[in-house]
């Protein structure tokens, strides 16, 4: 489980996060939603240590991540998988080399063991046999799946996905959402998805927090969200044509 407690974050005089507290449980797809500039990505960066909190705590299974120095954070960072918004594959590396990258950095496995893990991860994301391809030879959806394969290579306990459907068509977006949810349930990971895609919210939003102007304004699931009593959340979700159509059919 990941828990954030009374987290504040400021950049100079600008306060971006204001007293955020939430719990993210294993085996669930936990979504952080909000408009651009709301603070959702800043919260994720504070949780993984890319930003330091101004005050507050971030706990990983009871371990206070915010109180640890760089070296002491390494064991927890080894338990974290990341799917970046732009996938961030290394263009000069093959698919196999990209997935093997964290294994080379953080494990002492033999090459044969690493290759076995790479092949397992590729099979799990339905990309058997693409080991020797370069990222430039892949479609957008394939790149996302390679990114997921790399993110789970170290068998993480925690998986962060930053706007996983960015740049994808609706059909491929649904497939990526389903894959993330399947892997989350299968491996009992604590998965956190940062998104403003309401299709994703309705597809996989098992636990959702809504951030508005740096504050946590609502918490619930994708069944509760259509009946929220938060005007800020209603303005956010029903700005989507998809959600407007869904509301009419209720």
For the packed helices 95-106 and 111-124, what is the interaxial angle rounded to 10 degrees? Answer: 130
pLDDT at 229: 85
The SS3 call for residue 158 is: strand
The SS3 call for residue 83 is: strand
Helix extents (H) in the chain: 40-48, 70-77, 95-106, 111-124, 140-151, 170-187, 198-204, 231-237, 241-249
Cα–Cα distance measured from residue 240 to residue 247, given in angstroms and rounded to the nearest whole number: 11
pLDDT tens, position by position, for the chain (250 residues)? 999 999 999 999 999 999 999 999 999 999 999 988 899 999 999 999 999 999 999 999 999 999 999 999 999 999 999 998 878 899 999 999 999 999 998 888 999 999 999 999 999 999 999 999 999 999 999 999 999 999 999 999 999 999 998 888 888 899 999 999 999 999 999 999 999 888 899 999 999 999 999 999 999 999 998 888 888 898 888 776 455 555 555 5
pLDDT at 236: 86
Say if CB 57 and CB 8 are below 8 A apart: no
For residue 111, count other CB atoms closer than 10 A to its CB. 10
**Cα distance from N-terminal residue to C-terminal residue, the chain:** 34
pLDDT at 235: 86
Nearest by Cα to 84 from 176, 16, 166, 154: 166
Tokens coding 55 = 């005050």
Cα–Cα distance measured from residue 100 to residue 113, given in angstroms and rounded to the nearest whole number: 10
């Amino acid at each position: 489980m990941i828990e954030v407690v009374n987290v504040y974050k400021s950049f100079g005089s600008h306060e971006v996060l204001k007293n955020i507290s939430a719990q993210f449980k294993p085996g669930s797809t936990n979504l952080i939603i909000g408009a651009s500039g709301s603070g959702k990505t800043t919260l994720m960066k504070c949780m993984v240590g890319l930003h330091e909190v101004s005050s507050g705590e971030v706990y990983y299974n009871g371990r206070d991540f915010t109180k640890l120095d760089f070296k002491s954070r390494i064991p927890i960072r080894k338990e974290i998988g990341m799917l970046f918004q732009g996938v961030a594959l290394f263009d000069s590396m093959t698919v196999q080399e990209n997935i093997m990258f964290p294994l080379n950095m953080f494990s002492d496995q033999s090459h044969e063991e690493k290759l076995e893990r790479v092949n397992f991860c590729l099979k799990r994301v339905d990309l058997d046999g693409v080991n020797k391809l370069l990222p430039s030879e892949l479609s957008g959806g394939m790149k996302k799946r390679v990114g997921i394969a790399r993110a789970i290579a170290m068998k993480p306990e925690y998986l962060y996905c930053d706007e996983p459907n960015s740049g994808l068509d609706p059909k491929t977006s649904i497939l990526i959402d389903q894959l993330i949810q399947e892997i989350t349930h299968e491996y009992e990971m604590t998965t956190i998805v940062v998104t403003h895609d309401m299709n994703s919210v309705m597809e996989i939003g098992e636990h959702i927090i809504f951030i508005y102007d740096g504050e946590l304004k609502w918490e619930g699931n994708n069944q509760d969200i259509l009946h929220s009593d938060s005007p800020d959340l209603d303005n956010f979700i029903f700005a989507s044509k998809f959600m407007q159509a869904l509301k009419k059919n209720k």
